[in-house]
Amino acid sequence: MTITALMPVYPRCGVRPVRGEGVYLYGEDGEQYLDFAAGIAVNALGHGHPKLVEAIARQAATLMHVSNLYGSPQGEHFAQRLVDSTFADTVFFTNSGAEAVECAIKTARRYHFANGNPQRHTLITFNNAFHGRTLGAISATNQPKMRDGFEPLLPGFAYAPFDDLEAALALIDENTAGFLVEPIQGEGGLRPASMEFLQGLRKACNEHGLLLVLDEVQCGYGRTGKFFAHELYGVTPDIMAVAKGIGGGFPLGACLATEEAAKGMVIGTHGSTYGGNPLSMAAGEAVLDVIQEPGFLEHVEAMGQRLRSTLEQMIPNFDHLFEEVRGHGLMQGLKMKSDSRRFVAHCRDNHGLLLVAAGENVIRILPPLVIDESHITEFATKLSDAARVYVPAADD
């Protein structure tokens, strides 16, 4: 037997965290890491945030799980807060991002079905998109590394180049349900959509009776300095998938929709055993309490600007390695001239700095939203130390 007990689908590295505190992770032998990956944009409040820890502990002792067959005072309360803070009128809770995307796809299809147009089932999605790993979510991307060997995939998706409005509009036909798009692509290479692109998609939806479905699993929930990234664009979606930061590390996701867009989602059309259980709602409420504290999003924006100017000042010193910075708030990408995965490993193994690689040789910088200036200074020191001694491989 050579297969590992943990199914070997991840290239797991030598970092083996056993404890976290604020912006730091600690390994088995006590080694310390500055965590500017935050579980891939999940640990919005860092590690061990007292309010989140306390809320989970208290709720676990009170009531952990009941079926969705019963009334949910916890779910009603948290959903109402999300409704009050966003474009949405209704929320379905899930346990992950991919499930939030699944619910978004189903809601979009059901909308046209309810309108008597069941043939309008195709969502236009975009090159390099990442929507999760379920069969529905991998069908919604055309990245071969996620799709190969899993065919037949779900029909009902068409693919256009990201940020190319004309190409997206050219795909609209009598089967189109709408667009499914990340306002800022994360995994695909930290690429923000342009204003014209996102606003153009919204306009096309209004003109053709289509739905704008946003995947804000990574870029949402305060990450950009706005509660949701679409606020940066002055555009509202009809349906939106949310996860990652919403639970601060507790597995939680949500599909938000307007009343009109959710008109097909009636009793019996969707469900989840765990989705929205009292424990997850307590985690969600605790995270939202912190994010909605006065000044919190302004803090994210200020830290984002500082992080960005730090990176911009660093690029000329290492212009053999780095090309440009892109992103918003505390979702920044540093584009490299060589393999970003190798550089991320170097930072991790030799400088105690955790980052995340993305497509297009980009380094994703996704710190907890609670960082202060001292963490950015420490990050800058570690990153420039790492860059100073780094030699890209000849074949990078």
Ligand X SMILES: *Cc1c(COP(=O)(O)O)cnc(C)c1O
Which residues contact ligand X (rule: CB under 6 A)? 96-98, 101, 130-132, 182, 186-187, 215, 217-218, 243-244
Q: Is 215 a catalytic residue?
A: yes
Smallest distance from ligand X to CB 215, Å? 5
Active-site residue identified among 36, 93, 130, 322 = 130
Task: Give one word for 191, left, alpha or beta, with left for phi > 0 and alpha for psi -120 to 50.
Answer: beta
Scanning 117-189, the segments in alpha helix (DSSP H) are: 135-139, 144-147, 165-170
CA 257 to centroid of chain Cα atoms: 17
The residue (of 38 and 321) whose beta carbon lies closer to ligand X is 38
Tell me whether residue 120 or residue 191 sits nearer to ligand X (CB atom): 191
How far apart are alpha carbons 240 and 88 in whole angstroms?
A: 9
**Nearest approach, Cβ of residue 74 and ligand X (Å):** 21
Q: Which of 35, 163, 215, 238 is catalytic?
A: 215
Closer to ligand X by CB, 35 or 102: give it.
Answer: 102
Q: How far is the CB of 356 from ligand X (least distance, A)?
A: 10
Nearest residue (CB) to ligand X, 186 versus 352: 186
The phi and psi torsions of 313 (rounded to 5 degrees) equal -70, -25
Nearer to ligand X by C-beta: 97 or 178? 97
Kindly state the smallest distance separating residue 241's Cβ from ligand X, in Å. 7
CB of 340: closest distance to ligand X in angstroms? 17
Strands 90-94 and 253-257: antiparallel
- Judged on CB neighbours under 10 Å (0-12, 13-18, 19+), 51 is middle
Residues 6+ apart with CB under 8 A from 266: none
Nearer to ligand X, 96 or 361 (CB): 96
Q: Say which of 244, 335, 343, 382 is annotated catalytic.
A: 244
**Catalytic residue flag (residue 148):** no
| Virtual torsion, Cα 294, 299, 302, 303, nearest 10 deg | -170
- The residue number whose beta carbon is nearest to ligand X equals 97
Strands 239-242 and 253-257: antiparallel
- Omega within 30 of 0 (cis) for the link into 152: yes
Binding residue positions for N(2)-acetyl-L-ornithine: 133, 272
Radius of gyration of the chain (CA): 21
Closest Cα partner for 242 from 47, 79, 50? 79
The binding site for pyridoxal 5'-phosphate consists of 97-98, 130, 215-218, 273
Active-site residue, 244 included: yes
- Residues annotated within the binding site are 97-98, 130, 133, 215-218, 272-273
- 3-state secondary structure at position 257: strand
Least distance between ligand X and beta carbon 130 (Å): 5
> Measured on CA atoms in the order 20, 26, 32, 38, is the torsion positive or negative?
negative
Residues 6+ apart with CB under 8 A from 154: 135, 136, 139
Active site residues: 130, 215, 244
